[in-house]
Amino acid sequence: MQQSNRKPTMSSDFIPFHKPAIGEEEIRSVVETLKSGWLTTGPKVKTLEAEFASYIGCSHAVAVNSGTAALHLALEAVGIKSGDEVIVPTMTFTATAEVVLYLGARPVLVDCSTDDLNIDVDRVEAAISSRTKAIIPVHIAGRPCAMDEILAIARRHGLQVIEDAAHALPASYHGRKIGSIGDITCFSFYATKTMTTGEGGMATTENPDWAKRMRMMSLHGISHDAWNRYTKEGSWYYEVISPGFKYNLTDLAAALGIEQLKKCDQFYEARRQIAHRYDEAFRDVPGIQIPASAANVQHAWHLYIIELELEQLRIGRPAFIEALNHHNVGTSVHFIPLHLHPFYRDKFGYKPEDFPGAGKVFPRIISLPIYPGMTEANVDDVITAVLQITKEHRR
């Protein structure tokens, strides 16, 4: 968090929901790569993969051009096929479920816990059928799911666990970094994420066969990547093993990512401090519920999601967001549960009452700004705005 001597008042400048933290190091690195003549997948991607694997403490890291691509490749690598079923929480972004559909499989939605918005572990087993092949836990906001319980269910039923860790860098569960626990873990480097390459993603795993398959399928399913094919020591010869995808990360993006990864812990510390300020300010405020604390995990604090205690307020979430906007505070909502979207509702016949947990929390959640570029005055302004609106509209 940047220092400021300003007194807390209503913000005069709009505080956006998110601003990426791009410094001179990132700019220099991208410019150097532009000048190097090597723009697409090459040495920078290799470096980012090696440094990411070392940071997470995993054996393999495969860089791709989005978190969605990482999820798709992960499911393909573990063998998800047409007719299979994959357990997906309803409280997530559509990417988590759409990749299941890419492979002709069916996403089977499971409700969220009203405590932490993560998949309700107690409801997972009831959703498993003879066709189920995998579970995709999503670490919502960066707070790790109950991985011991999820892995135990998966092992009992012979399922793979593909973690959607789009929000969970850096997060840890019982002392282990997210990215080193499930069968394959997928990260996103989208512009709003805790580290960014503009667009990008990474899949981590301990399994060399899956890593090899994802790497190959990320570049048309051919036997060598561009690095091997076009450098002097590389060969012109290649073989198409499978009709793959065009999911490779560029060196331009990786040049940005290498510098972002170096700052990952520093960025985390800034977000943790903001989360702590919000916790302290809102903890005992009637009308506002802060994120529940959890023992033995590190929350990445990609998002800070408050819940409105609607029974105590005279306004609903849309009016609250509008009032925050009026106070120059940008917000977002994570997420509109999948079963409420026309596609998932119509295709699979889901009804709102099928997911009471998500139904309860969805109308209450608001994501507040939380990113390293926020000044202390910005944080003060967000707190002041939330407190004022809550006070004005309390029953």
Tokens found for residue 204: 């981590």
Q: What angle do CA 92, 186, 358 make, to 5 degrees?
A: 15
User: Please, what is the minimum distance in Å from the beta carbon of residue 200 to ligand PLP?
Assistant: 7
Q: Which residue sits closest to ligand PLP, CB atoms considered?
A: 67
Q: Please tell me whether residue 367 binds ligand PLP under the rule CB under 6 A.
A: no
Q: Please tell me whether residue 260 binds ligand PLP under the rule CB under 6 A.
A: no
* CA separation for the pair 131, 112 (Å, rounded): 22
Measured from the CB atom, the residue of 189 and 282 that comes closer to ligand PLP is 189
Q: Of 81, 193, 347, 351, which one is the catalytic site residue?
A: 193
Measured from the CB atom, the residue of 49 and 380 that comes closer to ligand PLP is 49
193 carries an active-site annotation? yes
* CA separation for the pair 338, 344 (Å, rounded): 6
User: Please, what is the minimum distance in Å from the beta carbon of residue 145 to ligand PLP?
Assistant: 12
Of 118, 188, 331, 378, the residue at the interface with ligand PLP (CB under 6 A) is 188
Helix (H, G, I), strand (E, B) or coil at 371: coil
Q: Of 66-125, which residues contact ligand PLP (CB under 6 A)?
A: 66-68, 92-93, 95-96
If phi > 0 it is left, if psi is from -120 to 50 it is alpha, else beta; for residue 363 that is alpha
User: Among 140, 92, 99, which residue's Cα sits nearest to residue 247?
Assistant: 99
* CA separation for the pair 365, 91 (Å, rounded): 12
Are 78 and 136 within 8 A, CB to CB?
no
Measured from the CB atom, the residue of 80 and 138 that comes closer to ligand PLP is 138
Q: Please tell me whether residue 298 binds ligand PLP under the rule CB under 6 A.
A: no
> HSE-up of 201 (CA within 13 Å, CB side)?
27
Q: Of 120-149, which residues contact ligand PLP (CB under 6 A)?
A: 138
Tokens found for residue 165: 């860790």
Q: Please tell me whether residue 201 binds ligand PLP under the rule CB under 6 A.
A: yes
Phi, psi of 304 (to 5 degrees): -115, 105
Measured from the CB atom, the residue of 1 and 21 that comes closer to ligand PLP is 21
Summarize as ranges the residues that interact with ligand PLP (CB under 6 A): 66-68, 92-93, 95-96, 138, 164, 166-167, 188, 190, 201
Known catalytic residues are 193
